[in-house]
């Protein structure tokens, strides 16, 4: 276990990089597809642009927080939490828990993935860059 403890100070990069990748992947394309998404969801296009900004800004902040200020990590966690609560309320809650479409007919639209993202995001809100510390 001592060998693994030498790397514990880098463990925070696993969820950081995962969150950044998820939100960049889903956020950046919204800038070019804003009108189509707004029409599909029955929302004002400005809301799609705001969502895209929250997702991309959060991704950049969670990465910056890994090297820099604690507040960047915590703000990113708050942004991700807000985005995922909105996604659950607007889309996923009505489809239940299962998001791995195993014959339930919900086509993978359940909320388990979004709940996991909220849990990881709230971990960063609570721990901030304290998640970067190596265990002794």
Per-residue pLDDT reduced to its tens digit, 22-38: 999 999 999 999 999 99
pLDDT of residue 33: 96
93: tokens are 């809650």
Binned at pLDDT 50, 70 and 90, residue 134 comes out as: confident
pLDDT of residue 83: 97
Mean pLDDT of all residues in 118-127: 97
Instruction: Quote the mean pLDDT of the chain.
Output: 91
| Cβ-proximal residues to 50 (8 Å cutoff; 6+ apart), any chain | none
User: What is the biggest distance separating any 2 CA atoms in the chain, rounded to whole angstroms?
Assistant: 55
Alpha helices in the chain (DSSP H): 2-5, 13-41, 45-67, 70-87, 112-127
| Cβ-proximal residues to 65 (8 Å cutoff; 6+ apart), any chain | 16, 71, 72, 73, 74, 76, 124, 128, 129
Q: What is the pLDDT of residues 63-104, one digit of tens each?
A: 999 999 999 999 999 999 999 999 999 988 887 777 776 665
pLDDT of residue 101: 64
Instruction: Evaluate whether 92 touches 110 at the Cβ level (below 8 Å).
Output: yes
Provide the percentage of residues in the chain whose pLDDT is more than 90. Answer: 71
């Amino acid at each position: 276990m001592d060998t693994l403890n030498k790397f514990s100070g880098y463990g925070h990069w696993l969820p950081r990089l995962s969150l950044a990748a998820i939100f960049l992947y889903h956020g950046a394309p919204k800038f070019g597809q804003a009108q189509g998404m707004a029409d599909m969801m029955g929302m004002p296009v400005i809301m799609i642009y705001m969502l895209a900004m929250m997702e991309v800004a959060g991704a950049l902040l969670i990465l910056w927080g890994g090297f820099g200020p604690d507040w960047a990590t915590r703000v990113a966690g708050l942004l991700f939490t807000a985005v995922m609560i909105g996604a659950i309320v607007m889309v996923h809650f009505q489809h239940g828990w299962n998001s791995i479409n195993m014959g339930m007919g919900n086509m993978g639209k359940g909320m388990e993935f979004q709940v996991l993202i909220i849990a990881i995001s709230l971990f960063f809100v609570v721990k901030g860059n304290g998640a970067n510390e190596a265990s002794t």
